[in-house]
């Protein structure tokens, strides 16, 4: 297949592109290398992808541009004759979305509509949309199931991801596109964005600097190792390309929440250094827990995460030491 991956030079995207190429697919990347974090990190990700494929050859093409540019997106989808789209590109992060909500609306809602419109125009029937566990809001009913109501997001980022799911359903309903929305739960691993907790905490502990520690340490996250996420995306792609016109939503998580205090303990142990904690109040938009119910994604997709938090953090820190 010839697959378009938006955000293909990012953390998740670069791992996915490598896996798709190794599986024999041709890949077209759309990425604008924006400055949400150092663009050189994404350039480095892309250079590592090139190590597994010949960029500019048939199996890997980079189209540098912004998904907010409808004409650009449509031209790529039409000219490159893609068979499926995996839409990962987004303005990411809960806290930044509170500071700049209109930007998040432009990228995550209008950008997603541009992708869907281009796919519709080109006759592309298969699409995966990267959603987020943040759509569940501050639910205390655990684990989070795809059938749970998600009508009360507590950040603009979460609201835009829920909106994306709804827009995807509309395009499925009107144009019979096969679409799966994948709710990712706190993905981590090599190449993780520097603003995310595991990367930031590792760096600060290693440098002997204070770690911003929000709340009393009992908040917990369903951390999911990158290899497990990529396996889940592959299974979702196989499913969406093999069923009759269908729309569905799937959780992709680890289903083993880890408390913040425990996360710090593991990082301390792996680094051999003690964390200096800067204790701060909970932040607006933060949730108390995320916890994926994997019954549906397990039974329909065959998704089953295998990496423990200890194994995953060990792999991340090994990458951090090799690349820092």
Which residues are identified as catalytic? 157
Residues in the chain: 324
Tokens at 190, concatenated:
């090599």
Strands of the chain, DSSP E: 2-6, 26-31, 60-64, 84-87, 126-132, 178-184, 187-188, 210-214, 220-221, 224-225, 247-252, 258-259, 276-280
Here the tokens at position 231 are 């396996």
Q: Quote the DSSP letter at residue 222.
A: -
Q: What letter would DSSP give residue 282? A: P
Q: Write down the residue that tokens 């281009």 correspond to.
A: 118
Give Cβ neighbours of residue 101 (< 8 Å, ≥ 6 apart): 156
């Amino acid at each position: 297949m010839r697959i378009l991956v938006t955000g293909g030079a990012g953390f998740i995207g670069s791992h996915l592109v490598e896996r798709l190429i190794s599986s024999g697919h041709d890949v077209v990347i759309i990425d604008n290398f924006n400055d949400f974090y150092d663009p050189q990190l994404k350039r480095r990700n892309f250079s590592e992808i090139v190590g597994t494929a010949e960029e500019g050859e048939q199996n890997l093409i980079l189209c540098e541009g912004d998904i907010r540019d409808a004409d650009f997106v449509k031209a790529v989808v039409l000219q490159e004759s893609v068979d499926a789209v995996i839409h990962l590109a987004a303005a990411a992060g809960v806290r930044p979305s509170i500071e700049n909500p209109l930007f998040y609306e432009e990228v995550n809602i209008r950008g997603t509509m541009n992708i869907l419109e281009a796919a519709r125009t080109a006759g592309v029937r298969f699409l995966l949309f990267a959603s987020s566990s943040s759509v569940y809001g501050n639910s205390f009913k655990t684990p989070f199931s795809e059938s749970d109501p998600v009508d009360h997001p507590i950040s603009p980022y979460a609201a835009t991801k829920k909106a994306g799911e709804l827009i995807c359903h509309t395009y499925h309903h009107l144009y019979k596109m096969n679409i799966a929305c994948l709710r990712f739960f706190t993905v981590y691993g090599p190449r993780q964005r520097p603003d995310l907790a595991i990367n930031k905490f590792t760096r600060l502990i290693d440098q002997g600097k204070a770690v911003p520690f929000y709340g009393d340490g009992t908040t917990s996250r369903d951390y999911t190792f990158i290899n497990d996420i990529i396996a889940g995306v592959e299974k979702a792609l196989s499913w969406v390309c093999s069923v009759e016109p269908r729309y569905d939503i799937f959780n992709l998580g680890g289903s083993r929440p880890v408390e913040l205090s425990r996360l710090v303990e593991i990082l301390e142990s792996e680094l051999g250094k003690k964390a200096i904690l800067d204790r701060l109040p909970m932040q607006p938009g933060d949730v108390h827990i995320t916890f994926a119910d994997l019954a549906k994604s397990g039974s329909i997709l065959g998704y089953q995460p295998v990496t423990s938090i200890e194994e995953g953090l060990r792999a991340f820190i090994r990458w951090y030491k090799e690349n820092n």
